[in-house]
Structure formats: structure tokens, C-alpha cells
Amino acid sequence: MTFATAQETFIMPMQVILDATPSGMMLVDHLGSIVLVNQLLAEQFKYLKTDLIGKPVEVLIPKRFRSNHPDHIRGFFTTPEIRPMGRGRDLYGQRKDGTEFPVEIGLNPLAMQDQTYVLASLVDISQRKNRDEQHLAAVSHRLSFATQSAQIGIWELDVVQKELAWDSQMYALYGLPTESQNEPYAKWVQALHPEDRKSVEKALKLALQGKQEFNIQFRVRWPDNSIHWIHGAGSVERDSTGTPLRMIGVNWDMTAEKTAEEVLLTYNEELEKSNQELDDFAYIASHDLKEPLRGIFNYATILLEDHASNLNDDGRVRCETLCRLSRRMEELLDALLYFSRTGRTELAMQHTNLEQVLGGVLETLDFSLKEHGIFLDVPQIFPAVYCDSVRVGEIFRNLITNAMKYNDKAEKWIEIGFLDGSLASSNAKGHPTGAQIFYVKDNGVGIREKHFRKIFRIFKRLHGRDKFGGGTGVGLTITKKLVERHGGRLWIDSTVGEGTTFFFTLQRNKKHGDTESTDSAD
């Protein structure tokens, strides 16, 4: 077929179609020669249409890309299909005057007269590219502003070349002037605290091997020899084979947090020491005071027994009062001695069947429960927990005894059970979510809310000394201490005249990091 015949059969109609298309279009044969071009494309490249017909398509491509282009053409015609050109790459066109502009190119195979052509559409994306670059610059500026405001430094490590790039904030984090922007990798290694250098380099190595995330805290030494804490984190970029190419990450200063942690640790150590000293003092004082107290009691008893005839009524009353007060003082000293021992004795922690522990406690209290006319309800089988069985038995005994004592109802009852801490309970106010909650509930006299904290103070009683059977006022204090030594909490819900419920846990919910004291739970 002659060219004139080809023009008559499809080229001329195709030219009409291309000229009507609102984007740059050209028809290229399998040799890479331009067969047709529309007016819009010619204007985009600043050519006349006649200047392009028969020319190799490479005239429209920047010189740096021309050498590989014939291979791309052969590849397309080997497996012709509709697709965009240059996936994942920025494409550029070159005008007649040598200037370049970004383009998007779509390829569409076209079979005509037993030949295959490619119909290429070209779109000038200069405006979109400018908008994208402006948007990227704005985002980059905002990111830079945010990281500088938060004092976060950004770094990038070229794993292959072992070159480290820092932004300006990184230099500030290491106490270095920004103008010293040469060999940051060497500066980084040099700045690492000698005691932390091996662990940091090991963490970096394991991250590059894909064995763990790079997320580490370490110390650095500034040029002025001051020590600062840095938190470093980063992600590794790899090629298709998994080989690490580069690593991008952040650093931020956590010196203030570390300083606060050290101060808090010091306070805690001092508090623990102070508490131990108080326990020691309570133990020694209560133990040593008992000896002269016994002497006072004994001499008062001797006066009553051996010299009663020499005492008038007022003298005998005074000696009896002295004996009674001595016995009362001895009870308080015994309670104080026991309380101090509660903090000194190590817990024998083991997996414990609470059903057996509670059964043993109720067996020892059986006579008292019947004597007080208490109806006892234990609606559940208790679980096994990790605890000191003797101490937990004491917790239950103290709470049950307390419930028996402070009850003035004609029909008295006590309920002992437990709740699933993962379920919300309207009764368990302020409970630590996730922990099992045990409770002892009664229908006794109740406690006003303003006294919820007071009842846990040592020797604190809300009633007269001899009312409700007397007592030292140390039982709930000991119970609270035993619960807290198990890592749990003890709290109360009560209504005056209706009854009281004591709730307690034997283990804090570590997931939520609960650190509240018992008193704050009310």
C-alpha cells in the first residue's frame, strides 16, 4: 500500500480524530517514528506539525533519557497493551527550544492495515506538579516547625554508604553547632556515652538485621561534658531482597523525664527507708514499753491483794483503774507490735485455693457467727489466686469479724463473694478494671462517707471504746496493709443504717498501671 493510499484509508480520518482530542496525541510506528501528531501536542513542544511527521519520537525526549528509549519501544511492541508509560518514574518532555516540562503519557496499541502502532497521549502536568511541590513544601515546613517545637530531631542513615544525615534539631540535641555539618555519623558515635555505646550499636545492628525494632534510650555526652538522655527510634527501608538500604528515624531529649524518674526513685527509696524505720521504731517501742507496763500492773495488783486493808475506797478505785488502764495499754501495745510485724514479715506467696482458706476462717468463726445470730451467705466457689494464704485468711477474718461486731439489726446477715473486675459494677465504685474483686457485705450500722478514710487509720474508732464490743481500732489498718502488701487495694461502699461492703483486690491491674492509694478510692 502506498503512503497516499494509507493516508486515504486511515491516516486522514485519524488526523481528524486526533485534532479533535483535548490532549496532546501522536501516532508512532514500531520503528519509533512519528506518523501523526495533533495540533495541541505540536504547540506543547513548540513545533509545527509538519516538523514532527517522520521524525523519531526521541526528539521529544530529554537527551539524558534517549539512549534507553529504543529498548522501551521494542519492549512495548513485543507485548503491546494499554498502560501508562514509566510507572513509578517522573517523565519529562523536551520542547524545541530545549526546555523541559513534566508529562504523563498513556500508551494504547492500535492495529491498522496489518501493522501495529502506538497511540500516545501526553498531558502537561506542570501546574499540578507545581501545586504538589508547593503542598509538599508547606507540609515539610509544618513538619519542620512541629518537630522543632517538640524538640524532635530527624535523621537518615544510608546503610550502604554508612552516611548519616541530620536536620538542624539533631545538632541541637547533641549540643553541636549546626555549621559543623560534616561527618555526623562519626560525631554521633563519639557522642554516645561509653557505657551505652555497645548496647546502642547492638540495637542498631539487630534492627538492620530485621530482628527487632530500633527503639532505645541512651545517654550522650555534649562537648561541655554534660550528660543528656536521648530516646531514639527508627524504621529500616529494604529492597526487594530484604537488604537494608536506609534507615529513617527520630531523636528526642528525655533528660527531664529521666531526672524526674531519678528524683522519684530517690523519694521512694527514702520513703521506704522511712517506713522501715517507723516499723522498727513501732516494734522496739511497743516491745520495750511492755516491760515497765507489766511492772505498773503487777504493783497495782499487789496493792489490791496484799494491802487492801490499808486502802480506803478511793485508793482501791484508783488501783483498779490503774490495773484496767494498764491492761488497755498492753492491748494497744500488742496491736502496735503486731502491726509493725505485718510490715516486717515476708509474704509466703504461692498459688492458693481461696475456697479452702475461706473455709478454714469460717470454721474458726463458726461459734461467734452463731452466737451473734448471723446468717452467712457464700454464693460462689472461690478461685485459686497467687497470695500468702495465712495473710489472706487474716484479711477475711478481720472483715468478717468487723461485719459481725457492727450490726444492730434483729436479723443479721453477711455475704462473702467476688466480682469479675472486667465487668462494670455499680457497687464496686472505683474498682481497678481487670482485677478480681473480693467483698464482704453486711446489713449493719453503716458508715458515713466522710469517715471512709478515717476508719483505716490506726487506733481510730468511730464509736465509744466499749460500744459494739470494744477493740483496739487496729484491725482495719492491718487489713489495709496486708491487702496493699499483696499489691491490691481496699475500699468501702456504705450507707448509714443499711450496711457496709468492703471490697479488695489482691493484685494491681498491671496493664493500667494503677497506683492510687486505698484512701483515694472512696
> Residues with Cβ < 8 Å from 29, sequence gap 6 or more?
35, 115, 117
pLDDT for the residue 324: 79
In the predicted model, what is the mean pLDDT of residues 418-436? 60
Predicted confidence (pLDDT) at residue 216 exceeds the cutoff of 50 = yes
Predicted confidence (pLDDT) at residue 426 exceeds the cutoff of 70 = no
Q: Quick: pLDDT tens for 316-333.
A: 888 888 887 777 777 666
The domain that contains 288 carries what CATH number? 1.10.287
**Do 236 and 141 have their domain in common?**
yes
**Do 154 and 117 have their domain in common?**
no
Yes or no: say if 12 and 36 are a contact pair by the CB < 8 Å rule.
no
**Do 331 and 430 have their domain in common?**
no
Q: Which residues pair with 163 in a beta bridge?
A: 158
Of 71, 99, 124, the position where a domain reaches its end is 124
Its pTM stands at: 0.42
Range of the domain at 235: 131-253
pLDDT for the residue 487: 87
The domain that contains 175 carries what CATH number? 3.30.450.20
**Do 460 and 478 have their domain in common?**
yes
Name the band, by pLDDT with cuts 50, 70 and 90, for residue 10: low
**Do 428 and 334 have their domain in common?**
no
**Do 363 and 436 have their domain in common?**
yes
**Do 318 and 365 have their domain in common?**
no
**Do 271 and 229 have their domain in common?**
no
Predicted confidence (pLDDT) at residue 471 exceeds the cutoff of 80 = no
Least confident of 59-63, 170-174, 247-251, 296-300: 296-300
Q: Quick: pLDDT tens for 279-319.
A: 676 666 666 676 777 778 787 888 888 887 888 888 888 88
Of 100, 124, 148, the position where a domain reaches its end is 124
pLDDT for the residue 520: 32
**Do 116 and 13 have their domain in common?**
yes
By DSSP bridging, strand 499-504 and strand 490-495 are antiparallel
**Do 363 and 376 have their domain in common?**
yes
pLDDT for the residue 317: 85
In the predicted model, what is the mean pLDDT of residues 68-83? 86
pLDDT for the residue 72: 86
CA–CA dist 419, 436 (Å, integer): 6
**Do 359 and 331 have their domain in common?**
no
Tally of domains in the chain: 4
**Do 493 and 371 have their domain in common?**
yes
Q: Quick: pLDDT tens for 220-267.
A: 999 999 999 999 999 999 988 889 998 998 998 888 888 888 888 888
Name the band, by pLDDT with cuts 50, 70 and 90, for residue 515: very low
Predicted confidence (pLDDT) at residue 422 exceeds the cutoff of 60 = no
Percent of the chain predicted with pLDDT > 70:
80
Of 219, 253, 287, the position where a domain reaches its end is 253
117 φ/ψ angles, rounded to the nearest 5 degrees: -120, 170
In the predicted model, what is the mean pLDDT of residues 194-212? 92
Least confident of 16-30, 211-225, 338-352, 414-428: 414-428
pLDDT for the residue 424: 42
Q: Give CA separation, 151 vs 26, 146, 187, 211, 254, in Å.
A: 54, 8, 19, 29, 10
CA–CA dist 76, 117 (Å, integer): 10
pLDDT for the residue 227: 92
